[in-house]
Amino acid sequence: MMIPPLPDTLPAPETFSQGVWVKGDWHLHSRHSTDSTNNPQSKIIGFAERMGFDYLAITDHDVHVMGAVAHHTWADPEFRSDSVLLFYGAELTAPRGHINILSSDPYDHQRVFDARDDRDWNLLKLKQELGVHMSANHPSTKNHYGFSFDLADSVEIWNGCVWPKNIPGVRIWDDMLLSGRMLGARGGSDAHHGVPDRPDQIVPQTVEATSNYVGTPTTWIFAAERSKPAILQALEQGRASVSSNPYNPRVELYADTDGDGVMDMMMGDNVKPDGREVRFEVRLVGGGIAGANYAVRVIKNRSPFASLVTDADTRSVQFTDTPGIGERNYYRVEIEGPQAPYPEVPNSMAQSQNMVALSNPLYFNYNPAF
């Protein structure tokens, strides 16, 4: 018997004819993290407002204030915006690794911090009691994610502007997907340092501010509405993709499962295959380099499935496959090509190399009860 078992039936995917794309950054540090420099919340939020970001999560290290983020990050008068949706959160910084705790509303983070070394099944109960979202941070770095992935509602598969360091983390994500876990992926700049306002504020870490800041990378979320609860729900569902910076195109992955020529499935959706051929479509939307062709790498069940090139005019490409009726399969895509300049963070593009964007998967025969 396959574990998890294949589902007998699955509900029809939610419609995506209505909804809104929003962009933001899920992992940022302000002056309330002691390893941050020249980065008050007013600087972070002001930058995001000028750049047209929709949401931010300022996730300071809770260990630096012994868990009291409600009396530091959240209580800071600068923690406000008229245009950017600000999530309540913190980076649980524990001996076993780091987790971003995310919430639409204030919650008792002190309880999370105090339980950081507890058994995972007790942490799961606490998560459910508090109603928070737990996102596994940088799973393959030295401050790796050492908790059970059954705690995680999402995973950070692109941390910071430097793409190569994230490759092992993407493999870990693929491992989780292949095991039957539907796990939404996101990015996060993990930016700690801002550009100094005066020359005397320059520190050795200042150079990082010009290569890694808000939006390196940018996570795009397709939400039912522009609200914090809807955005968190869409992140958990996997209706999201990640771009190396906000000027690069957003990758969208769709599928036509019934052959009527209309795409009826998007990233994060899960359907039962019926033995018919499925037509997939990769779209690059907005930004990017005009007239450029982008390389598309299709990943199926952790392995390379196809290498394609987008049409320079339509900025899209299609492929087909027939997901097996008695099998569990997922498909996702990675986009490589020229980096769009990010003038506000001018040294970020070289660090991201050729990696432009990644999608979340389309799922076939996954068990949502697992």
3-state secondary structure of 50: helix
Q: Stretch 229-239: mean pLDDT, rounded?
A: 98
Place of tokens 């100094």: 196
Do residues 193 and 37 make contact, with C-beta atoms less than 8 angstroms apart?
Answer: yes
3-state secondary structure of 81: coil
CA atoms of 106 and 110, how far apart (whole Å): 11
6's tokens: 């294949």
The predicted model gives 59-87 an average pLDDT of: 98
Stretch 13-28: mean pLDDT: 95
Q: What is the identity of the amino acid at 119? A: R
At residue 66 the predicted structure's pLDDT band, cuts being 50, 70 and 90, is: very high
* Cα 278 from Cα 362, distance rounded (Å): 11
Answer whether residue 1 shows pLDDT above 90.
Answer: no
pLDDT at 2: 78
* Token representation of residue 358: 């990644």
**What's the pLDDT tens digit per position in 253-272?**
999 999 999 999 999 999 99
Amino acid at 86: L
What's the chain's average pLDDT? Answer: 97
Tokens standing for 210? 């010009």
pLDDT tens per residue, range 154-205? 999 999 999 999 999 999 999 999 999 999 999 999 999 999 999 999 999 9
Task: Decide if 244 contacts 161 (C-beta within 8 A).
Answer: yes
Given the candidates 3.10.20.30, 2.30.30.30, 3.40.190.10, 3.20.20.140, the CATH classification of the domain at 20-243 is 3.20.20.140
Alpha carbon 79 to its chain's center: 22
pLDDT of residue 154: 98
Question: Omega before 4 cis (within 30°)?
Answer: yes
Q: How many helices (H) and strands (E) does the chain have?
A: 6, 19
What pLDDT band is residue 218 in, cutting at 50, 70 and 90? very high
The one-letter amino acid code at 66 reads M
Superfamily of domain 250-364: Immunoglobulins (2.60.40.10)
Query: Residue 307: its pLDDT value, please?
Result: 98
CA 80 to chain centre: 23
Report the sign of the C-alpha dihedral through residues 200, 201, 204, 209, in that order.
Answer: negative
Rounded to the nearest 5°, which phi and psi values hold at 10?
Answer: -140, 145
Helix (H) / strand (E) element for 27: namely strand 20-28
Q: Do the Cβ atoms of 257 and 269 come closer than 8 Å?
A: no
Mean pLDDT of 139-159: 96
> Residue 142's pLDDT is what?
87
DSSP output for 320-340: EE---TTS-EEEEEEEESPPP
- The domain ranges of the chain are 20-243, 250-364
pLDDT confidence of residue 167: 98
The per-residue pLDDT for 269 is 98
The Cβ-side half-sphere exposure at 128, using a 13 Å CA radius, reads 8
Query: Do 180 and 3 meet the contact criterion of CB atoms below 8 Å apart?
Result: yes
Indicate the length of the chain as a whole number. 370
pLDDT at position 326: 94
Would the pLDDT of 336 be above 90?
yes
pLDDT at 111: 98
